[in-house]
Amino acid sequence: MKEETMSTVRTEQIGDVLLIEINNPPINAGSLTVRQGLTAAIQQLQAQADLVAGVIIGGGTTFVAGSDLREFGQPLQDPQMPAVIALIEACSKPVVAALHGAALGGGLELALACDARIALAGTLLGLPEVTLGIIPGAGGTQRLPRRVGVARAIEMICSGERITADKALALRLIDEVVAGDLQAHAMALARRLAGRKCRIRDEQVPTEDAAAIEQAEQTALRAGKRRPAVLAAIAAVKNAARLPIDEGLAQERAVFQQLRVSTEAYALRHQFFAEREAAKLPAALQAAPRPVQTVAVIGAGTMGAGIAICALDAGLNVILLEQDDVALQRGQQRVAEHYQSRVAAGKVKAAVAAASQARLSPTTDWVQLGRADLVIEAVFEDMPVKQDVFRKIDAHARSGAVLATNTSYLDVDAIAQLTARPQDVLGLHFFSPANVMKLLEVVRGERTAADVVATGMALGKKLKKLPVLCGNAFGFIGNCIYNAYRKQCEFMLEDGAWPEAVDQALTDLGFAMGPFAVADLSGLDIAWRMRKAQAASRDPRERYVGILDQLCEQGRLGRKTGAGYYRYPDGKQVKATDAIVRAIIEQASSQRGITRRTLDATEIQRRALLAMVNEAALLLAEGVASRPSDIDVVLVQGYGFPRWEGGPVFWARQQDPAQLAQDLQRLAGESGHGFVVADLSVLLNP
């Protein structure tokens, strides 16, 4: 038995089979050293007469879960993955890919180049490149359709879908699903294949109904908003059915090389790395989190029930507390209906749903809080109400329990001071619907202990959220920036734009919805209540737009009342604002002495983005955000900022700094008294 090691790839001769093990933790990314090691290993396999086959396996917890994205913004060094794959296919001896954990991106492309694939149950396979603004660049668009067909390949590649080993077996992407000793199974398969090559490249793309392909294409275009990578992926997959494979591979690689250096791809890679960085605590706050197995959620409304579902899905025990039996029963029903719908849709097995619901303990007894390791208050967004709840929490929660408030705007310290243990209090700002939205703002109060902050961040990860640390300021990161954005959009109404023009310009930019459609959806009365609460402290010199107030006074509270900025006959939005709204807007312009003018889409987009960027710089300077990239994560994950634009910070870094500063000064003039021009250097210097 001979063993050799080269960089991140280890080879071991076991009888007449060469074991090729990739060891590049944590995900065995297909970096340069891995590609070099694989090249040397395949050359060894070809050269040694006493070897009949090879097995490529991943060390640690996975096969190859993608490429090294850090290389994509630089000139790629040889050997590149297509050359490694060509070497495997040209080798006269069969190679088996032994998959476990995940085979994603370049990892799946590597596996598809092998002569057979074997996987442990539960292994995930997929080609997620389009979600990063590129297309598979090592044969994924050509080999995948040769097994699954053009329509299914378009569906998988354009969505970045990850499938299980069982589904992959049904699609003929793998040859066996096994349990137990993966290496032993793979070695046995390799010996059975000795003397034979089974290359996917030699197969023909299955004949399909043109209508099925067209439907898959149109679905992908709608879901992918016709982004360049989606268009390119569809074209490349369709090439597999009409071009010789070498020509298709060459075209795929050329498009991949173009896309990987595009601004969109840079933006998506920025967001990818920013999300991973956001979960890391600053050195001064690093501590061991407190153990959490039982969570109490106070309030069984839409938000509280959603939080409870998150915790149940994560395997935690949940105490759901309400003020009376009627409200508690409604909350239980919300949880039950969620699991019923998931089971009906085939998303969750009935036994799993039943086990999750069995961990739910509904109660109206405050004494039950004493069993909880962490208590989350999720009641009405009103300071006196939340303070009253925290008095009761303080009286019943056990010593050492973490006490969290789910608030969107309110002062965490003002809530914490109602307890005898402010060091145990933090904010956990979930986004609605809590069981769907990935973002979680973890808010550190003035006296919050480091291990409590660490517990909040660890809980976010356990709930499969993206936790982002925030300082305690009005609106934290997300709502503070969104408030500045919304305010600027309201200024543009007075200056001459109609709500539909603003909404259209921003959805054209890539926002999921425009600000006025969002306001109607969430209910204008929410913002109205907040404005009335702040009225006494508002500087009378500040530019204040009262359009929303007047709409609310007329009973136009948004979708729920059938009218807000827009009308909703039969529940569907009328795209143009009506005469009532326009009259209110025109009156607001007149009262401010503004001569209305047309604002084009470019001006609307730039003013909205500038407002965000300015507020982001202010928050960073105040320490509300720990790092610039955290701001981008919050805005993309929680507020519909287009992911392919990277976030407001990334966008700002693509602009000319002098022009940006000049435009901010102009924005200050348009915004009036109280607008503070930020020092953008804190954002622009990575």
Reading the block at residue 273, the tokens are: 């790395």
Q: How many CA atoms, within 13 angstroms, populate the side-chain half-sphere of residue 43?
A: 9
Contacts of 586 by beta carbon, 8 Å cutoff, 6+ apart: 596
Instruction: State how far the alpha carbon of 583 is from the alpha carbons of 28, 549, 577, 578, in Å.
Output: 62, 14, 10, 9
Asked if 11 contacts 4 with a C-beta cutoff of 8 angstroms, the reply is: yes
How buried is residue 682: exposed, middle or buried, by Cβ count under 10 Å (0-12/13-18/19+)? middle
Name the residue among 305, 433, 401, 293 with its Cα closest to residue 362.
Answer: 305
Count of CB atoms situated within 10 Å of the CB of 360: 20
How many Å apart are CA 203 and CA 227, to the nearest integer? Answer: 30
Question: Which amino acid is located at 675 in the chain?
Answer: F
How many Å apart are CA 196 and CA 455, to the nearest integer? Answer: 55
Beta strands 9-14 and 17-22: pairing type? Answer: antiparallel
Beta strands 95-99 and 116-120: pairing type? Answer: parallel
Asked if 393 contacts 298 with a C-beta cutoff of 8 angstroms, the reply is: yes
Dihedrals phi, psi of 469, to nearest 5 degrees: -75, 135
How many Å apart are CA 317 and CA 79, to the nearest integer? Answer: 51
129 is catalytic: yes
How buried is residue 665: exposed, middle or buried, by Cβ count under 10 Å (0-12/13-18/19+)? exposed
Instruction: State how far the alpha carbon of 647 is from the alpha carbons of 146, 436, 451, 635, in Å.
Output: 38, 21, 30, 6
Count of CB atoms situated within 10 Å of the CB of 352: 14
Residues 599-630 as b or e (16 or more Cβ within 10 Å = b) = beeebbbbbbbbbbbbbbbbbbeeebbbbbbb
Which among 4, 12, 71, 129 is annotated as catalytic?
Answer: 129
Asked if 203 contacts 144 with a C-beta cutoff of 8 angstroms, the reply is: no
Asked if 150 contacts 240 with a C-beta cutoff of 8 angstroms, the reply is: yes
Asked if 130 contacts 224 with a C-beta cutoff of 8 angstroms, the reply is: yes
Which among 109, 275, 494, 645 is annotated as catalytic?
Answer: 109
How many Å apart are CA 244 and CA 248, to the nearest integer? Answer: 6
Count of CB atoms situated within 10 Å of the CB of 36: 18
109 is catalytic: yes
Reading the block at residue 343, the tokens are: 């089971």
DSSP letters spanning 442-491: EEEPTT--HHHHHHHHHHHHHTT-EEEEEESSTTTTHHHHHHHHHHHHHH
Maximum C-alpha span of the chain: 91
How many Å apart are CA 300 and CA 359, to the nearest integer? Answer: 16
- Residues with a catalytic annotation lie at 109, 129
